Each structure stands twice: as C-alpha cells, then as structure tokens.
C-alpha cells in the first residue's frame, strides 16, 4: 500500500507539474521534443504523429522534465528557429517556466475544493486536558472546552469547524510568532468565553508533534472509556469491561483519555505500581474497582538495537545506551473515538476555502523555508522520500479523502519548492529572466553553467539532509 500510494502520488504530482510547462510551451508555439515522467531508462512511451513529441515514462519516478527545442542544447533547423525556446520573447519564457508551479497550485485548489464540496468527517474542535505548563494550560484550559472561533490578536475572529482547523491557527501563530485569541464554551459554562494563547516566544524551530505538545493541543478530546480488554491483564483482573467510563483514579478526577493514559504510564516508572481505586460508570451505574497496573519496560529504541547488533558483529563495546523507561500498563484500550462531524461547503464556498487554504499553506511553507535558510528553524523540518512515502501509505489506508488531502498538501509543497530562487529550479530560471529584464541581456552561458552546478550542489545537500532526517525518524 505504501509503495503503491507513493508511486501514484509522485506520478500525479510530477505529471501535473510538467503538463503545466508543456501546455504553455505549446500555446506559445514552442516545439516540445520530449515529455517525461521519471528519469533514467525508458519503461514505456509513444511519439505523437502530429507534434513529434515523445511521451516517456522513466524508471526513476522522482521527477520529470519537458525537453524543448533550444539552440543552446543542439542544432536547430532554420525553418524551426521560431519554435525554439531560446528564441521566444521574455514574457513567453517567464510564462512557460512559471506554468509548472502554478499547475501544482491549481491542482491543490481543485483537490481542496472537491473535498470541501463532497465533505469530510473530522474531529470537532473540543480540546483535551493540556499538559501542565503548556500554553493552553497557562491560559486556563482544563479539557473539554469547545473552540468556537479563533483569530490573531487584534484581528477579527473566524469560525472553527474542526480540531484540525484549530491546530492550523496554532501552527500559524507559533511559526509567525503571533498570539491567537479564541472564543470557547466549557462543560461547566455554556456562555462563550474568551482566552488569549501566548504563542509569541514559543520555540517553533521544529514544527512537529513536540510543538503542539508544548502548546497543549496534541489531540482532540476523547473520553476515558475502556476499549478492548486483553485476557489475563490487569484490566481483566480488575473486572473492567469494554465501555466503562473512568471518572476518577484515587482522588484525581479524570477529564479525558490522554490524562488517564499518562497516569497509568507514570505509575510504573518507580518500580511496582501501587494499586489504584478507580471510579467507573457502567450502564449508568457507578462502581469502584481496584486496579493494579503492572510495570513493563518499553521496547528499546531502534538506535539501541542497531548499536547492539553492530557491537555483536564486530566484537566492540556497544557504548552508552539511551535509557529505556519502565511504564505502567493495564492491558486495555483507553479512549473513545473523538466527537466528529461532517464538514461540507457549498460549491462557491468550497472553492473560496480551497483558494484561501492553498494561499495560507504556500505562505506558511515559504516562511518556514526562509527560517531554515536564516537558521531560525531547524533542518529537522525537511522531509525526504521516505517520510513522503510513509505519509502517502498512511493517508491512502485511511481512505480516498485523506489521500486527496495529502496530494493537495504535497502539490502545494512542490509548487512552492520549485519557486525558490535556486538556479536548478524554476525559481532560479525566473531569476535569470529578471536579470535579463533589468540588464537587457541574458545571463551568459558560462555563468549559467556555473550557477546550475551551484544549484545542483545545494539541492543535493538539501536532499541529503532530508534523507538523514527520514532515517533518524525511523530509528527513533
């Protein structure tokens, strides 16, 4: 599933990108020699009898290209010179180069519009109990609050229709270093209340799960309800049953599943966990049961296993291991599915929402890339083909709609990445044309070759960092 989903995603994204270049090139009267999805040896292809363009599928599906008639790359017949790329006016060359990234952004708008129009089931914007010391805990959130509206400090608020929508505001606030104001209702008080989330100064150098944990919005609210009970484990011995709602552990009131899960794990960190008195609700009746979690050692990190394996092979000391913690477990699932609702928009609103989401995602991506270049954000934010394949497989396993959302996000990323002013990318060629517009003459061929080599080195370095990040994530 992962490999197939990855290949489908790459082929679609690359084909749409190159189709943008191809379509505008043909519209401008440029002769296209080859349209290739993938690099390397040809797997399949055909040649158009009308235009003479060769359409090819290459063995390595990690990119593609459109080869146009160009006097800089080979001899051109005098009667075909007007169809050469280098003979085009500056506006045509800019349009052809810009068409690839624009095609990816248009694809993202189309995919977001389709999902918005057909609807998607999403977790409602009800927050879980935030960790102590987190931004949301400091703001007074205790868990179970339903977010109604959100917006940047000093600006008008917008409706929040899902938990993902709420986290989008938090991510933007942290990365842009802006406070987010919210309006919400709690289980104790149904009249709307206001709070200001202090996101200025939050370390957003790594926009990952740790960022949301620090903010206090790792997951939506889920009831602390017992799921499947494993035979012979502590939960079965305590006569807990699937569907039991946990209300209290000893003297601590339980708000949600995340809080209960953390308490069970923490109970095994200092030896044998003590017995706990749980107050549960079963079929409307409250019962008190005695639960004795057992202490287990978590599976060692993969990096430790690899270190031990190499030490065994070569007869060398394994070196210091990363501590493997012991945790408490009861042998039962804990958490009811989050409260969900189908989010759907009308035809016009779905397109408007899609355009706004594509614009905001593009702007946020550029901001993060800028922070990486200026060393204000960590290089850990870069992901490579391994992570992309993993996300492709997981989204495809969840269904068509999550996979389409993944495609939309990747299409935005591909479009934005290609607009970077790196010589080997589309954005670098646009810089050449900017120089040509300002100076009145194109960049010389020797300088073009030097800049292309420089751009290739930078791109390979970025890819190397991304692949290292991918492998590091796998070893965690």
Tell whether 264 is covered by a domain: yes
**Which one is predicted more confidently, 387 or 179?**
179
Q: Is 278 exposed, middle or buried (0-12, 13-18, 19+ CB in 10 A)?
A: buried
**Closest-CA residue to 28 (of 107, 90, 102, 104):** 90
* 241 pLDDT above the threshold of 90: yes
Give residue-wise pLDDT tens across range 379-393. 777 777 888 888 888
Tell whether 60 is covered by a domain: no
Do 235 and 206 belong to one domain? no
Do 111 and 127 belong to one domain? no
**Closest-CA residue to 332 (of 276, 260, 271):** 260
* Beta-carbon contacts of residue 80 (< 8 Å; ≥ 6 apart): 31, 69
Do 472 and 364 belong to one domain? yes
3-state secondary structure the chain: CHHHHHHHHHHHHHHHHHHHHHHHHHHCCCCEEEEEEEEEEEEEEEECCCCCCEEEEEEEEEEEEEEECCCCCCCCCHHHHHHCHHHCCHHHHHHHHHHHHHHHHHHHHHHHHHHHHHCEEEECCEECCCCCCCHHHHCCCCCCCEEEEEEECCCCCEECCCHHHHHHHHHHHHHHCCCEEEEEECCCCCCCEEEEECCCCCCCCCCCHHHHHHHCCCCECCCCEEEEECCCCHHHHCCCCCCCEEEEECCEECCCHHHHHHHHHHHCCCCCCCCEEEEEEECCEEEEEEECCEEEECCCCHHHHHHHHHHHHHCCCCCCCCCCCEEEECCEEECCCCCEEEECCCHHHHHHHHHHHHHHHHHHHHHHHHHHHCCCCCHHHCCCHHHHHHHHHHHHHHCHHHHHHHHHHHHHHHHHHHCCCCCCCHHHHHHHHHHHHHHCCCCCHHHHHHHHHHHHHHHHHHHHHHHHHHHHHHHC
Tell whether 22 is covered by a domain: no
Do 176 and 191 belong to one domain? yes
Do 407 and 440 belong to one domain? yes
Do 132 and 216 belong to one domain? yes
Do 363 and 471 belong to one domain? yes
Tell whether 13 is covered by a domain: no
Do 325 and 379 belong to one domain? no
Give residue-wise pLDDT tens across range 70-99. 888 888 888 889 999 988 999 999 999 999
Give residue-wise pLDDT tens across range 349-361. 999 999 999 998 8
**Closest-CA residue to 183 (of 197, 196, 193):** 193
Do 353 and 476 belong to one domain? yes
Which residues are annotated as catalytic?
18
Last residue of a domain, one of 295, 315, 343: 343
Do 217 and 301 belong to one domain? no
Last residue of a domain, one of 320, 343, 366: 343
Tell whether 170 is covered by a domain: yes
- The β-bridge partners of 277 are 290
Rounded (10°) CA dihedral 452, 456, 458, 460: 180
* C-alpha distances out from residue 316 to 305, 308, 313, Å: 14, 9, 8
Cα–Cα distance between 262 and 465 in angstroms, integer? Answer: 34
Last residue of a domain, one of 343, 378, 407: 343
Query: Which CATH number covers residue 250?
Result: 2.30.42.10
Reported as a pLDDT band with limits 50, 70 and 90, residue 421 is confident
Q: Is 411 exposed, middle or buried (0-12, 13-18, 19+ CB in 10 A)?
A: buried
Tell whether 471 is covered by a domain: yes
pLDDT at 315: 53
pLDDT at 201: 82
Do 261 and 324 belong to one domain? yes
Total structural domains within the chain = 3
* 472 pLDDT above the threshold of 90: no
- Residue range 38-54: mean pLDDT, rounded: 87
* 205 pLDDT above the threshold of 70: no
pLDDT at 406: 92
Do 422 and 351 belong to one domain? yes
Tell whether 359 is covered by a domain: yes
Tell whether 74 is covered by a domain: no
Domain that holds residue 446: 88-119+346-476
């Amino acid at each position: 599933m992962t490999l197939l989903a990855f290949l489908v995603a790459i082929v679609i994204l690359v084909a749409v990108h190159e189709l943008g270049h191809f379509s505008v090139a043909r519209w401008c009267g440029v002769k296209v020699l080859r349209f290739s999805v993938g690099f390397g040896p040809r797997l399949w292809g055909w040649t158009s009898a009308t235009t003479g363009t060769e359409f090819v599928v290459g063995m390595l599906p990690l990119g593609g290209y459109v080869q146009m008639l160009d006097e800089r790359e080979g001899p051109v017949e005098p009667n075909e010179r007007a169809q050469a790329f280098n003979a085009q006016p500056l506006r045509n060359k800019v349009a052809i180069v810009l068409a690839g990234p624009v095609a990816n952004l248009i694809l993202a708008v189309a995919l977001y519009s389709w999902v918005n129009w057909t609807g998607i089931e999403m977790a409602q914007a009800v927050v879980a109990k935030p960790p102590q010391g987190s931004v949301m805990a400091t703001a007074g959130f205790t868990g179970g609050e339903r977010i109604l509206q959100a917006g940047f400090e000093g600006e008008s608020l917008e409706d929040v229709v899902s938990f993902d929508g709420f986290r989008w505001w938090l991510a933007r606030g942290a990365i842009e270093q802006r406070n987010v104001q919210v309006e919400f209702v709690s289980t104790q008080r149904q009249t709307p209340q206001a709070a200001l989330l202090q996101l200025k100064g939050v370390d957003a150098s790594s926009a990952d799960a740790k960022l949301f944990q620090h903010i206090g919005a790792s997951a939506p609210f889920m009831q602390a309800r017992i799921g499947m009970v494993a035979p012979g484990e502590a939960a079965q011995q305590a006569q807990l049953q699937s569907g039991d709602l946990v209300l209290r552990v000893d003297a601590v009131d339980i708000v949600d599943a995340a809080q209960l899960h953390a308490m069970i794990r923490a109970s095994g960190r200092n030896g044998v966990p003590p017995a706990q008195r749980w107050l549960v609700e079963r079929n409307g009746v409250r019962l008190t049961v005695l639960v004795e979690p057992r202490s287990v050692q978590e599976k060692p990190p993969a990096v430790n296993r690899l270190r031990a394996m190499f030490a065994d092979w070569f007869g060398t000391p394994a070196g210091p291991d990363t501590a493997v913690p012991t945790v408490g477990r009861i042998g039962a699932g804990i958490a009811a599915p989050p409260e969900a609702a189908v989010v759907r928009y009308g035809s016009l609103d779905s397109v408007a929402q899609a355009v706004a989401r594509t614009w905001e995602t593009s702007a946020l991506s550029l901001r993060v890339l800028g922070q990486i270049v200026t060393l204000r954000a960590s290089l850990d934010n870069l992901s490579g083909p391994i992570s992309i394949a993993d996300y492709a497989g997981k989204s495809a396993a969840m269904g068509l709609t999550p996979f389409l959302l993944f495609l939309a996000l990747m299409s935005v990323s591909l479009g934005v990445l290609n607009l970077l002013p790196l010589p080997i990318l589309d954005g670098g060629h646009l810089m050449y044309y900017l120089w040509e517009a300002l100076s009145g003459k194109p960049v010389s061929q020797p300088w073009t070759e030097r800049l292309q080599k420089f751009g290739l080195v930078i791109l390979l370095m970025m890819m190397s960092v991304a692949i290292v990040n991918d492998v590091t994530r796998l070893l965690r």
